[in-house]
Amino acid sequence: MALSEPVERVRRLGPTPDVGALVMIEQAIDLYAAGYTHLDERRIALDILLRDLARLRTIEPDLDVFIAQVESYIDSLHCQLTRQAA
Q: What is the tens place of the pLDDT at every residue in 50-82?
A: 999 999 999 999 999 999 999 999 999 999 988
C-alpha neighbours within 13 Å on the C-beta side of residue 21: 18
pLDDT of residue 1: 43
pLDDT of residue 3: 60
Q: Which residues are CB-contacts of 17 (< 8 A; sequence separation ≥ 6)?
A: 63, 65, 66, 69
Is the pTM value of this prediction over 0.85? yes
- In Å, how far are 14, 34, 85 from 21, measured between CA atoms? 8, 20, 30
pLDDT of residue 17: 61
Res. 2: pLDDT tops 70 = no
Res. 44: pLDDT tops 80 = yes
